[in-house]
Structure formats: C-alpha cells, structure tokens
C-alpha cells in the first residue's frame, strides 16, 4: 500500500472514530457467556480496515471500499512490458512461457491490485 492510500485509510478511520459513537451497530461487542456485562469498543484501524474488506454493508455505511484481487498472468506481462520493453509486447507462448514466468518472478512484477475508494477518491496500487 502506498502513502497516498494510507492517508486515505487514516482519514476514513478518523471519520469512523469520531462518528461511530452515535451508532452502536458499528462497535465491537464482547459478552462473557452467562454474563450481563457487555463490553463495547470501537474498531482499531486494522480491525476497521478488515471489517470494510469483509462486510460490504459496514463498508458502504462508512464510504470506504477496499478491493484486492490477483492479477492475471496477462496483466502481469503487460506490467512487465511497460517497465522493461518500452510497451512492446511479444508473443510469450511456448517455448517462451517459462522464460516470461521467470522474468515476472525475478523482476518482482506485482501479483495483486489494491483499489481503495473513499469520498469519491479512487487510488490503485500494485503489490
């Protein structure tokens, strides 16, 4: 995740932290079995981010959408070509497929696309 995305996540969590007190649904609730005592607390930043990744209703309520997906081999080849061949894409089929797979690995071509959307700002990065 890049610095810009981290700042966007920080902003979203600060908004949650300052406004969630009005909405008990968006708290983490813990209750001991057989006890009337209920502990409620707000999500820490990492918990908040994970909740947004896994709970679309929660994510929509706080306006933060985090999408992670694996890049296809063709998408990785496109990234490799942009960086190392000046955008010229060769036909990487047998017997060259092992060659390009090795290049994708040794050049640390990303395998994942992360998209973060918050307040009409959309940021993408590769990992």
Q: What is the pLDDT of residues 32-56, one digit of tens each?
A: 667 776 677 899 999 999 999 999 9
pLDDT at 93: 63
pLDDT at 91: 65
The tally of CA atoms less than 13 A away on the side-chain side of residue 13 is 17
pLDDT at 52: 95
pLDDT digits (tens, 9 = 90+) for 79-119: 998 888 877 776 666 666 788 889 899 999 999 999 999 99
* Beta carbons of 52 and 64 less than 8 angstroms apart: yes
How buried is residue 2: exposed, middle or buried, by Cβ count under 10 Å (0-12/13-18/19+)? middle
The total number of structural domains in the chain stands at 1
In a domain, 94, yes or no: no
CA distances from 82 to 9, 57, 85, 125 (A): 29, 37, 6, 15
pLDDT digits (tens, 9 = 90+) for 2-28: 899 999 999 999 999 988 877 767 887
Write out the residue range of the structural domain in which residue 55 sits. Answer: 1-71
In a domain, 21, yes or no: yes
Name every residue whose Cβ is closer than 8 Å to that of residue 58 and which is 6 or more positions away in sequence.
Answer: 26, 51, 52
């Amino acid at each position: 995740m890049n610095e810009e995305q981290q700042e966007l996540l920080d902003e979203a969590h600060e908004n949650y932290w300052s406004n969630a007190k009005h909405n008990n649904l968006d708290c983490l609730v813990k209750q001991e079995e057989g006890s009337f005592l209920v502990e409620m607390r707000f999500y820490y930043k990492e918990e908040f981010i994970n909740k947004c990744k896994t709970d679309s209703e929660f994510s929509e309520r706080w306006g933060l959408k985090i999408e992670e997906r694996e890049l296809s081999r063709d998408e990785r080849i496109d990234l490799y070509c942009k960086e190392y061949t000046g955008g010229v894409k060769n036909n990487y089929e047998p017997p060259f497929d092992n060659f390009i797979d090795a290049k994708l690995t040794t050049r640390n071509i990303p395998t994942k696309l992360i998209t973060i959307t918050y307040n009409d700002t959309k940021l993408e990065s590769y990992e």
